[in-house]
Every structure is written in structure tokens, then in C-alpha cells.
């Protein structure tokens, strides 16, 4: 069984913000798998399917970003999933705008949602990070930047990154090893 988690905030006002890049990527994966987020379980919107005979759950925690781990630990416990079979996709200010980086495990870095997940399930799970650090110096607090909308002139670059992240998650759902997925997608980072 696989659990694919996209991080974001549930309210419509956050829909097209940097902090919802994880939601956007997992929605792209749902399109590829031809499933919809119809159930609400463990404080997450979920979509379920089978890929190659294995159950795959896609989740968008509804606990707001900083408490994402609350929902993830409930899903892990409910479905009895090992952390290595969980993959999390999220926005990352530490990566340049539009880049995608996949890791087998690691720390939470500066991301509060990931910090909460790591606190709940440890660090031994793969993750897909979508960068949004602008080239120019930012003049607003980071909290305001993550909750701001993606500029129209940057939309194509982020659409490409979301597509790439969605493809990586799709490959994970199909059972590809995280090492193969890293080799396939990290060259764009």
C-alpha cells in the first residue's frame, strides 16, 4: 500500500498560493490515475485506487499546513502504512523557483508542515519538494510570500514543476523505486 500526501491549506483563498503547490501536484497525480478526492478520512480529503494490484491512497490534509502531521499520522495508523511507503510533496523556499527535488529521507528543513510530519512519523520517508525561491530579493516576510498568489508571468514555470512532481508521484504509485524516481527527475533541480 502507498500513501501519497500533498501539503497545502484547505480554504479557497489559499488555492493558488505557493503553500498549495503540494495540493496542486497531488491533484495532477489524481488526474493521471483517473481518481477524485471524494472521501474525507483522518482529517484529509482522500482518493483511493489500485495500481498493479496495490492500493494507493492520495491525501490532502485539511488540518492546515502547520498541523499536517496530525492528519498524516492518523492515515499511517489507520491504513497501517510503513513510512517508506509514504511520499509527501510540498513547497520549499530553500529551492529555486520552479525546481523539483526528490529525496529518500531527511530533515524538515525550514518547512513547518514537514516539521510536524517528521515529529509524528520520523524522517524515513521520501519527499518531493517544489521550489519557489525567487531570483530577486524578497521584500516581504516569508509567511506573507508563501501565502501569496503565483504571479501570472511565473505560471508556466510552476505548471511545468507541478507536472514533473505529479509524474514523480505517479511513478511512485506505480511501484518505481525512489532511487529510480530521483535519477529520473532530480536532474531538473
Active site residues: 19
Separation of alpha carbons 71 and 137, rounded Å: 34
What are the φ and ψ backbone dihedral angles of 145, each rounded to 5 degrees?
-65, -45
Separation of alpha carbons 61 and 22, rounded Å: 10
Residue 186's nearest CA partner among 108, 96, 100, 105 is 100
What are 45's three cell numbers?
480529503
Do 101 and 189 meet the contact criterion of CB atoms below 8 Å apart?
A: yes
Amino acid at each position: 500500500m502507498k500513501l501519497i500526501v500533498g501539503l497545502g491549506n484547505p480554504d479557497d483563498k489559499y488555492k493558488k498560493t505557493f503553500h498549495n503547490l503540494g495540493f496542486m501536484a497531488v491533484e495532477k497525480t489524481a488526474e493521471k490515475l483517473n481518481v477524485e478526492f471524494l472521501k474525507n478520512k483522518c482529517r484529509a480529503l482522500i482518493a483511493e485506487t489500485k495500481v498493479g494490484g496495490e492500493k494507493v491512497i492520495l491525501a490532502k490534509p485539511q488540518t492546515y499546513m502547520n498541523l499536517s502531521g496530525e492528519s498524516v499520522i492518523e492515515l499511517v495508523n489507520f491504513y497501517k502504512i510503513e513510512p517508506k511507503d509514504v511520499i509527501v510533496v510540498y513547497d520549499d523556499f530553500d529551492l529555486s523557483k520552479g525546481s523539483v527535488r526528490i529525496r529518500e529521507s531527511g530533515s524538515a528543513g525550514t518547512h513547518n508542515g514537514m516539521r510536524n510530519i517528521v515529529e509524528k512519523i520520523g524522517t524515513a520517508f521520501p519527499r518531493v519538494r517544489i521550489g519557489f525561491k525567487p531570483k530577486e530579493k524578497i521584500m516581504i516576510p516569508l509567511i506573507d510570500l508563501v501565502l501569496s498568489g503565483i504571479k501570472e508571468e511565473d505560471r508556466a514555470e510552476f505548471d511545468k514543476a507541478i507536472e514533473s512532481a505529479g509524474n514523480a508521484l505517479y511513478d511512485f504509485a506505480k511501484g518505481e523505486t525512489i532511487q529510480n524516481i530521483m535519477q529520473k527527475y532530480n536532474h531538473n533541480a
